[in-house]
Amino acid sequence: MFMSELHIVIFLPVIAGILLFLLPERVFTLKGVLSVLVAAVCLIFSFILYFETAATGTLNLGKEFFKDGSLLNTLLKQTESFAAMHTDNLSKLIVLFVGLFTLIVSVYSTGYLFPKIRPRHYFSYFLITAGCANGAVLADHMLLFIFFWGIMGLTLYKLIKGHTSISASTAKKTFIMIGASDGIMILGIAVIMHLGFPLSISAMDIHTGSFAGVAAFLCLAAGAFTKAGAFPFHTWVPDYASYAPASSSAFLPASLDKLLGIYFLARLCNSMFVLNDWLTLLMLFAGVGTIIIGVMMALMQKDYKRLLGYHAVSQVGYMVTGFALGTPLGIAGGLFHLINNALYKSGLFLAAGHVERLTGRHTIDDLGGLSKVMPVTFFSVFVFSLAISGVPPLNGFASKWLIYQGIIEFGEGPGLANQLWVVWLALAIIGSALTLASFIKFISGIFLGHTKSIYRSVRGKDMLYCLPQAVLAIICIIFGVFASNWVIPGIIQKVSGDFAYPGIWESSTVSVLVMISIFAGLTIYWLMRGRGFRVDKAFVLGETQDHKTGGYPSGEYYKTITGNQVIRMIYRGAEKKYFDIYDIARETVLGISKRLSWLHSGILPVYLIWIIAGLLVMLIIFM
Amino acid sequence: MKEWIPLFVVLPLAGAFIIPVAGSVWKSTGRVVTPLLMLFLTVFSLLFFSFKPQVMVYYVGGWEPIDGIPVGIHFVVDGLSVLMLAIINVIAFAASFYSLSYMHRFTGDRYFYTLFCLMVAGMNGVVITGDLFNLFVFLEIAVISSYALVAFGIEKAELEASFKYQVLGGVASLLILLGIAVIYWQTQTLNLADISVVLQEAGNHKTLVFVQMLFIAGFGLKAAMIPFHAWLPDAHPSAPAPISAMLSGVLIKAVGVYSIMRLFFNMFAISYEISMLIVIIGTVSMVGGVFLAIGQWDFKRLLAYHSISQMGYVVVGIGMGMVILSVNGDQRIATLAITGGLFHMVNHAIFKSLLFLNSGALEYRTGTRMLREMGGVADQMPITSASTLSASMAISGIPPFNGFFSKLLIIIAAVAGGFYLIAVLAVVVSFITLASFMKAHRYAFSGIPKFKGKNMLKEVPFTMGLSMVFLASMCLGLSLLVIPFLRDLVLAPAVDALMNMLHYSQHIHGYTL
């Protein structure tokens, strides 16, 4: 068949994106509407694709249109030899979610991107990104994969407007890190070729017993880690989240980059390579390290978009941990968490963008009590926050639960990594608790308390903003409530393989219990209303809270952590970017550059001496 | 077709004489004649791709060989020469078309076009000649006109750069001339094919090694390999932008790398030691150049240092092929390495010329070359911004641009050939390249405008814009060369010319072992 779902989900957005370059920037809304249409079509076809059987084959590029043996025919025929595609349950699932996020974010972007923060040709790059993401997920040939994957780095760079020096620097840093990781992946591919494996992702099965095998794995994993934003290659994510338009953050670092990075990591850990014990240990270490570092940094943030950026890092840790376990339970947990995280994290970014758009403020302390003026956003954020913190019965809990169970089950194995299961479990749970802590800060600082007087006139019920958030929130609830009886057996186990569902956890029953208890609580409150209560001043952080100022000073909540000398030093170092791999590399390179420039004095006799010396050295060696 | 080969030299040479003479009557002669001439040569050189398997020989003045011994000068066009001719003339066309608007800022533009034609004649001559001394003569024609063109702005900095360039270039020419003299003393002939035959009979000895050292130093200087590179960072930025594009885009390849390839593959017998030396020089240039580049704040100077680094890639690719051939290693890996090197050379010609044209466009509108004094021009200059971005992506090896594929080939060949360190270094250099171009974008195109006259900023004139768009589309289009069919058409004949080392002399000389 010449036109298939694959053609549409890959080429339609890319071609539409290229055509949108031709429309002038003035008709931004028109471009937005067209993008929404394209995204909707893609989503429909992703759905159709999802229900088709898995297949491997080459993408037909239309060679039939040209005479056999003609120039274009030969060209297309040879191009097709690189266009090996492979669909299985994992890739179809990822494509489906790429389609979903493309649609949701395109709707939001049409309303959100006002001219001052709007990157040029936003929707063109947006659609190209979506098409390339699908291409990368469906590609079976490594070179085709890296081709699509690399283009996404470029579009990521183009989706942030460098109109101020700080946003320009952020764009630069992001692209350098992503581009560098792509380079490392090429090295990995070269090693795989050297080992004599065909470059087919589905057929690869490399043992990491040899040095070359380990090197290839590490090179490719570095690419996946950078894309997904896992420690130690995560440092672009918080910066991007702070200075890019919220729609771009919601689209790439929060959803598509996660989907792709973790998709590739899943392929690496569970089908392309057979991990040895040390690599499993390393991956688990990276996983829990990411969780803790991300969340500890998030706790201290005052800028709410940056706070979300650090959580975008922290959550990746759970997925890495899940896939590193390598058991069906772990894979299921990692995959489910990937989808859940993309849902609530992109929702949080959309909400943050909404708040920023209406108030123009970046720090939590400047805000307060917005729940009354932005009810839909507040409801969505409330759901997202509970989900990300792993509060039952929401989806975040369901996937974390699987990961915890996976770790416990993993502990029965004989290896060193298995013996340390308590460590992984403890750190994962602590990370979850700290996430809750930082979201209490987020929600109470922005939405709770009395509305600050300057925000009383804010109109926060615009459909274009609210609808995408509400849709995401509802999906979060559905995925949580029906986790154990529909989502996990119906979607996740198709990918991860079957496993005995652990424990007596049953999501719908628990949801009903939770509803009953909430209802009971409300009833008690209603019955007791006006009796046995006294109204008193509120105390926050040991001080009386003044009603008139509105909001809570939640920016100060966790300041006491820095009371510890060591922790304070670490935070100071992190603020000065001592631990940022990008800054370390930058300083090193510029240092060497400075030394070498010093040799280039511009004095002619010195240069002459170099030439003569070069010639002499060669002569001495060879004569 | 072979009767027409001399046109590559004759036409630009004729142009160089007509322009100053006719230019005194009709001032626009140069502006009209040069681009047309270059367009004709471009089309003409591309025609030659259709005769790929043949080695075409033209006997200048009808001096046919006597008893198989060449007596006159030969012009030889084989796969490698065709590739070089295409690069030279395509870039020359783009640069001359760009100059139409750009050179308005300078007086005496007819001398500019005269020198331009002369330089093209010299470069075309270098790549088609089959005679060692003739090669030297054409080389001098090309570089002497480039000395003058570097000084074309006649400001203090330009004159100083040109002076340094002349002195260092003169040293290189002397070394080359000395090498040629020794060769002539040893072999009593100057015909490349004939020398090759004589050398095969004579075997390898010390004098030959000495000559090879002289050539590596001399042509290495022309190709700006570290430690012979010091003239380049001064000379290339000082020239007018289209000339910088010609110098970095083609001159260092045509007179430097091409000569090294031609002489070491087709004239000398390849030895392991010399091949390793070439690989090492290439690696040092690749790494050293990029470290020097990233610290620069003058955009053109940054580009100039990148030329050193990128030519390092080319030389490494070709050198690895030489090493593998010299130890009779896997032919396929050698082919891959040489293909990667040549592919990168073609790509570098396109993207580096484009980058210099972009730097000219920026200087044209902002009046400065310093990155820190520009800023925020992306919105007003979309064509410049987009074409610079594509060239930057190409040089940094980001898909879907051409540089990605050539670097990919080089890295794969390096790993497959066992040059693991080189593979790692190639990747690291690629990061730093990306970083330095991101720096250029961040300061030149993003952020807040800092230069004078920012309110009157607009896109560059038509001819400059069109040249840049033309080259930018080639940055994308040349990616297709990775497809076997096009690779066989364009790159493979050149690779074959190098791989079948003796074929060149056999064909011309009729000599068989």
Residue of A nearest to B448 (CA): A164
Q: What is the ipTM of this complex?
A: 0.90
Burial label for A522, CB within 10 Å (0-12, 13-18, 19+), is exposed
pLDDT tops 70 at residue B203:
no
Q: CB B231 to CB A607 under 8 A?
A: yes
Q: How confident is the model at residue A458 (pLDDT cuts 50, 70, 90)?
A: confident
Instruction: Output the CA angle B237-B242-B244, nearest 5 degrees.
Output: 30
Average pLDDT over all residues of chain B: 90
Average pLDDT over all residues of chain A: 88
SS3 A172: helix
Q: Tally DSSP H helices, then E strands, for chain B.
A: 21, 2
Which among A71, A204, A215 is positioned nearest to A145, based on CA atoms? Answer: A204
Say yes or no: B159 contacts chain A, CB-CB below 8 A. no
Which among A478, A225, A143, A338 is positioned nearest to B404, based on CA atoms? Answer: A143
- DSSP assignment letter at A449: S
Per-residue pLDDT, A503: 67
pLDDT tops 80 at residue A563:
no
Q: Which residues of B touch A602 (CB under 8 A)?
A: 234
Q: Rounded mean pLDDT of A269-276?
A: 86
Question: Which of B178, B429, B446, B478 best tests the A interface by mutation, with the highest count of A CBs <10 A?
Answer: B446
- DSSP assignment letter at A534: -
Q: Which residues of A touch B483 (CB under 8 A)?
A: 75, 78-79
Say yes or no: B233 contacts chain A, CB-CB below 8 A. yes
Per-residue pLDDT, A502: 66
* Contact of A416 with A277, CB cutoff 8 Å: yes
Q: Which residues of B touch A148 (CB under 8 A)?
A: 399
| Nearest-angstrom CA–CA distance, B123 and B252 | 10
pLDDT tops 50 at residue A258:
yes
Query: A135-144, A245-254, B198-207 — which is least confidently predicted?
Result: B198-207
Residue of B nearest to A171 (CA): B442
Q: CB B227 to CB A172 under 8 A?
A: no
Residue A203 or residue A96, greater confidence: A96
pLDDT tops 80 at residue A172:
yes
Residue B509 or residue A491, greater confidence: A491
Q: How far is B248 from chain A (nearest CA, A)?
A: 19
Three state DSSP letters for A93-122: HHHHHHHHHHHHHHHHHHHHCCHHHCCCCH
**Partner A, chain B 329-368, Cβ-Cβ below 8 Å:** none
pLDDT tops 80 at residue A133:
yes
Count residue pairs from A and B with Cβ separation < 8 A.
Answer: 167
Residue ranges of domains in chain B: 270-482
pLDDT tops 90 at residue B429:
yes
Instruction: Output the CA angle A43-A44-A49, nearest 5 degrees.
Output: 95
Query: Tell me: the pLDDT tens digits for A343-390?
Result: 999 999 999 999 988 888 888 888 888 888 888 999 999 999 999 998
Q: How far is A332 from chain B (nearest CA, A)?
A: 33
Query: Tell me: the pLDDT tens digits for B82-109?
Result: 999 999 999 999 999 999 999 888 888 8
Per-residue pLDDT, B171: 94
Q: How far is B507 from chain A (nearest CA, A)?
A: 31
Per-residue pLDDT, A496: 81
Q: Which residues of A touch B209 (CB under 8 A)?
A: 622-623
Q: Which residues of A touch B238 (CB under 8 A)?
A: none
Per-residue pLDDT, A3: 55
pLDDT tops 50 at residue B513:
no
| Nearest-angstrom CA–CA distance, B154 and B467 | 26
Per-residue pLDDT, A557: 77
CB neighbourhood size of A105 (10 A): 30
Query: Tell me: the pLDDT tens digits for A584-597?
Result: 999 999 999 999 88
pLDDT tops 60 at residue B335:
yes
Q: In DSSP terms, which residues pair with A139 in a beta bridge?
A: A85
Q: CB A176 to CB B221 under 8 A?
A: no
Q: Closest partner residue to B442 among A162, A589, A618, by Cβ?
A: A162
Say yes or no: A171 contacts chain B, CB-CB below 8 A. yes
Q: How far is B465 from chain A (nearest CA, A)?
A: 17
Query: A484-498, A589-603, B221-235, B385-399 — which is least confidently predicted?
Result: A484-498
CB neighbourhood size of A416 (10 A): 11
* Contact of A341 with A250, CB cutoff 8 Å: no
Dihedral sign, Cα of residue B145, residue B147, residue B149, residue B154:
negative
Say yes or no: A189 contacts chain B, CB-CB below 8 A. yes
**Partner B, chain A 17-76, Cβ-Cβ below 8 Å:** 74-75
| Nearest-angstrom CA–CA distance, A278 and A285 | 10
Question: For the residues of B56-93, what is the DSSP string, one character each?
Answer: EEEEGGG---BTTB--S-EEEE-HHHHHHHHHHHHHHH
Which residues have CB under 8 Å from A362's CB, separation 6+?
Answer: A242, A303, A304, A305, A356
Which residues have CB under 8 Å from B110's CB, separation 6+?
Answer: B19, B20, B23, B27, B29, B30
Say yes or no: A616 contacts chain B, CB-CB below 8 A. no
| Nearest-angstrom CA–CA distance, B379 and B472 | 18
Q: CB B294 to CB A180 under 8 A?
A: no
Residue of A nearest to B206 (CA): A623
Q: Closest partner residue to B217 among A187, A190, A611, by Cβ?
A: A611
Per-residue pLDDT, B469: 95
Q: How confident is the model at residue B358 (pLDDT cuts 50, 70, 90)?
A: very high
Per-residue pLDDT, B303: 95
Q: Which residues of A touch B476 (CB under 8 A)?
A: none
Q: CB A186 to CB B213 under 8 A?
A: no
Q: What are phi and psi of A200, to 5 degrees?
A: -100, 120
* Residue labelled with tokens 């993003």: B446
Q: Closest partner residue to B294 among A75, A590, A607, by Cβ?
A: A590
| Nearest-angstrom CA–CA distance, A94 and A133 | 9
Which among B392, B402, B300 is positioned nearest to B343, based on CA atoms? Answer: B402
Q: Closest partner residue to B447 among A79, A165, A604, by Cβ?
A: A165
| Nearest-angstrom CA–CA distance, B176 and B6 | 24
Per-residue pLDDT, A1: 43
Q: CB A179 to CB B431 under 8 A?
A: yes
Residue of B nearest to A191 (CA): B415
Q: How confident is the model at residue A237 (pLDDT cuts 50, 70, 90)?
A: very high
Q: How confident is the model at residue A2 (pLDDT cuts 50, 70, 90)?
A: very low
Q: Closest partner residue to A592 among B168, B274, B291, by Cβ?
A: B291
Rg (CA), chain B: 22
Say yes or no: A615 contacts chain B, CB-CB below 8 A. yes
Query: Tell me: the pLDDT tens digits for B166-192?
Result: 999 999 999 999 999 999 998 888 988
